[in-house]
Structure 1
Amino acid sequence: MSRAKNYFLIPYLLWIVLFIIMPVVMICYTSFKDMDNHFTLENYRNFLSPVYLDMTLSSFFYALIITVICLIIAYPVALALRNTKNKQFWLLLIILPTWINLLLKTYAFIGILSKEGTVNDVMRALHLPASQLLFTDAAFIIVSVYIYIPFMILPIFNSMDEIPENLLQASRDLGADQWTTFRKVIMPLSWEGVKTGIQVTFIPALSLFMITRLIAGNKVVNLGTAIEEQFLVTQNYGMGSTIAVFLILAMALVMVITKTNKESRDNR
């Protein structure tokens, strides 16, 4: 039986080697090459310059804002879903937007936020001045939050839904009010879901590039747009790979900081 299990691991190991390990190794190798394919450390020196460091800080800043807003909205929504009837139906409605192509959703927001779009039509109907919402930082954050908020809600809801009802009943039987039950029981037991939600929101938010192009009009520059520009515009694959290396390291750091601990959760 154990030998059969080893055979079943072969496709998984091949997938890991071919599509995870090898691409990372190739990116690391290319990061030490200049445009003439010569070995160099200039790419790393350039990345440590003020321009790229500011861009990195900007990427973390926007990713942090998107993640915090998603968390503020998602946590009460997940709590309400847990306590409502037909929770699977409401959860399906939250998941449905994730089935739509990201590019289609982005173009839809262009129509909604443009000067002749839906938002400004409503403003004019209310006799309020129209405003230029598209190509602004606010538009970028709004669209990003809309796209990533289902991925924040799902893990938090799952962690809350796994909380045994008898724990909540025991808390009430011991005289705890709703706030104390929430603070002492629900919040600690849903923390692993919060950390997972932060991972699946913060990490991809670091490398957004399509939304920055179409919604922010290149007014928001982050690591994702820099990588795209280096590979597709200047064709400086070495510099693009160097930025990608630091992006991978940043993602790994976030995963380490927010890693879930199943053993400690089970002990609780």
Structure 2
Amino acid sequence: MKNIRRFYSIPYFFWLLFFVIAPVILIVYQSFFDMHGNFTLSNYHTYLTSKTYLMMTVNSVLFAFLITLMTLLISYPTAYFLSKLKHRQLLLLLVVLPTWINLLLKAYAFIGIFSANGSVNDFLRFIGIGQKQLLFTDFSFMFVAAYIELPFMIMPIFNALEEINPSLISASRDLGANNFETFRRVIFPLSLNGVKSGVQAVFIPSLSLFMLTRLIGGNRVITLGTAIEEHFLVTQNWGMGSTIGVILIVAMFIVMMLTGEKRKGGRAK
């Protein structure tokens, strides 16, 4: 049996090696070279001493935090509501369906919705508010990013809520707790693992968004993902682009450590 398991694990390890470990090693390796192929530490020195890069990092973290917070505030009530419905699996499928649509198509759809002659401005003119600049704003960028990330927050929270033993909720109510106390003391703590998984799934990709910053934010929103794209495709400074990539990888591990499930004595708390 062990030999069979090892045999079936071979494709997984090859995938991990060639598509996860090898690219990370290449990025770290490339970050120590300048545009002329000379070994240097100047890329890291430039990043750590440049106000532009540091402000870009702060903006990336801030936008990622706001997108994650907006997504969480929408996703938790949605997942909780879905978990109480009879046909929740069908409705959950409707939540997942937008992920089957190409990201570029969704971005262009929102360009039409938020444009000067889009449906939102048509509605604002109809109710007498008048036309507003909706596209190429921080709000439109965060709104579209949160919409795209919603399923990745809803799914883990929904799964965590589904795994809660109903007898625990019944026991809480039998002991005199009202609905709010039951939620605060039983349901929410038991669903925290789903919340943490959702935060990981939303916050980490939000740090490196670049296509939405151009199409929806109109380059007003500058993130580390935008800088990486510029260095690789425009300035051809792969070393600096790789350095920023390394910073994102480090940030990813930090987020995973902060939101990971802590274990004590070999068992989850």
Distance across 1 between alignment mates of 2:47 and 2:217: 24
Residue matched to 1:20: 20
Distance across 2 between alignment mates of 1:210 and 1:220: 11
Distance across 2 between alignment mates of 1:117 and 1:241: 39
Residue matched to 2:170: 169
Distance across 2 between alignment mates of 1:77 and 1:212: 27
- What percent of counterpart residues are identical? 55
Q: Offset of 1:127 from its aligned partner?
A: 2.2
Residue matched to 1:67: 68
One-letter identity of the residue aligned with 1:203: I
Stretches of 4+ aligned residues off by more than 2 angstroms:
260-264
Residue matched to 2:125: 124
Q: Offset of 1:242 from its aligned partner?
A: 0.4
Residue matched to 1:189: 190
Matches within 5 A, 1:91-170: 91-170=92-171
Residue matched to 1:230: 231
Distance across 2 between alignment mates of 1:161 and 1:262: 22
Q: Offset of 1:185 from its aligned partner?
A: 0.6
Distance across 2 between alignment mates of 1:117 and 1:136: 15
Distance across 2 between alignment mates of 1:196 and 1:260: 9
Residue matched to 1:57: 58
Q: Deviations over 1:111-140 (max 9, x none)?
A: 000111111111111122101110111110
Residue matched to 1:5: 5
Distance across 2 between alignment mates of 1:175 and 1:36: 72
One-letter identity of the residue aligned with 2:36: D
- Contact 2:261 / 2:268 at 8 angstroms: preserved in 1? no
Residue matched to 2:179: 178
Q: Deviations over 1:229-252 (max 9, x none)?
A: 000000100000000000000011
Distance across 2 between alignment mates of 1:96 and 1:20: 27
Distance across 1 between alignment mates of 2:29 and 2:171: 57
Q: Deviations over 1:16-60 (max 9, x none)?
A: 111111111111110011111011111111111111011001000
Residue matched to 2:255: 254
Task: Give the length in aligned residue pairs.
Answer: 268
For structure 1, the residue ranges without an aligned partner over 5 or more in a row are: none
Residue 85 (structure 1) aligned with residue 78 (structure 2): no
Distance across 2 between alignment mates of 1:129 and 1:263: 58
- Contact 1:151 / 1:200 at 8 angstroms: preserved in 2? yes
Distance across 1 between alignment mates of 2:234 and 2:96: 35
Residue matched to 1:34: 34
Distance across 1 between alignment mates of 2:4 and 2:44: 46
Distance across 1 between alignment mates of 2:141 and 2:213: 7
Distance across 2 between alignment mates of 1:262 and 1:93: 35
SS at match of 1:179: helix
One-letter identity of the residue aligned with 2:108: Y
One-letter identity of the residue aligned with 1:105: K
Distance across 1 between alignment mates of 2:9 and 2:69: 38
Q: Deviations over 1:50-84 (max 9, x none)?
A: 11011001000000000011111111111111112
Distance across 2 between alignment mates of 1:192 and 1:260: 7
Distance across 2 between alignment mates of 1:211 and 1:199: 19
- From the superposition, tell whether residues 179 and 9 of structure 1 become closer, same or farther in structure 2 (CA, over 3 Å): same
Structure 1 range deviating more: 7-16 or 26-35: 7-16
